[in-house]
Structure 1
Amino acid sequence: MKNTVTIPFAIQTADMFYKRFKGLMFRKEPIQEEGLWIVPCNSVHMFFMSFPIDVVLLNKQKEVIRLVHSLKPWRATKPDNSVYSVLELPVGTIEGLGIRIGDRLEF
């Protein structure tokens, strides 16, 4: 059964080239109770990151296509043409909110 999951954090939108490119790079402290929605985007890299994040890959309807728990620095996700945007969240958010593939996110 598909659920709607509301993200209870402030979500910033990265919808311009520079904001999408920079993302969370160069931040020293892990994000807490915040997230970054990168749109359009079908993969992410963790180069120049100093902390892991949870990554939720979404289609145009904000339905979850894929989940990556605790993506570590200097790693990347594979590009996926079915993915329209990516939501970067603090580690543990996917599990804590019970986000599953097929869920629709609201933020």
Structure 2
Amino acid sequence: MTATFGPGPHTLLLDGEPIAPLAVAENYRDRRRGLLGTDAVDGALWITRCPSVHMIGMRYPIDAAVLDRDGVVLHVTTLRPWVGLTRPRLAASATLEAAAGQLDRWGVRPGRRLAIRRAADR
């Protein structure tokens, strides 16, 4: 059985333009779980109050973007299951996770700004 995460109810914006469906992990339980227990991700997961992530227990590679409090991308990397992790960065406030290769396809790179369009704001 394949467990796919997403798509979330919100929309991920890159420099103000919509690029993907988005789920947001805002409470402790959702932040701690992240993408664990899934085999794929549809869209992206924005993890609030999360300056770094690890891949212990993950089944597949993912892309991760470390963001400051304004959503400016500080660092982008592809992480492998069980061994990958992002280093905490001084200004980091959140981490965005997506399928491996997806952030490059969307044009997410350091210096660009990501934002959340909440489903209620549409």
Range of TM-score over shorter length: 0.7 to 0.9
Q: Structure 2: give runs of 5+ residues left out of the alignment.
A: 1-13, 117-122
1:9 aligns with 2:20: yes
Q: TM-score, normalised to structure 1's length?
A: 0.86
| Structure 1 residue 53, shift from structure 2 partner | 0.6
Q: Specify the code of the residue in structure 1 equivalent to 2:68.
A: N
Shift of residue 6, structure 1, vs aligned partner:
3.6
| Percent of residue pairs identical | 30
| Equivalent in 41, 63, 68 of residue 59 of structure 1 | 68
Moved over 3 A (4+): none
CA contact (8 A) 2:19 2:106 kept: no
**CA offset at residue 5 of structure 1?**
6.0
Relative distance call for 1:6 and 1:55 in structure 2 (3 A) is farther
> SS at 1:20's partner residue?
helix
Deviation at 1:8, TM superposition (A): 2.2
Which has the larger strand fraction? 2
**Map of 1:16-31 to 2, 5 A cutoff?**
16-27=27-38, 29-31=39-41
Matched position secondary structure for 2:37: coil
- Separation (CA, whole Å) in 2 of partners of 1:63 and 1:84: 10
Measured on the aligned residues, the alpha-carbon RMSD in Å equals: 1.6
* Equivalent residues, number: 102
TM-score by length of 2: 0.76
Give the Cα separation in 2 of the matches to 1:80 and 1:106.
19
Q: How far off its partner does 1:4 sit?
A: 1.5
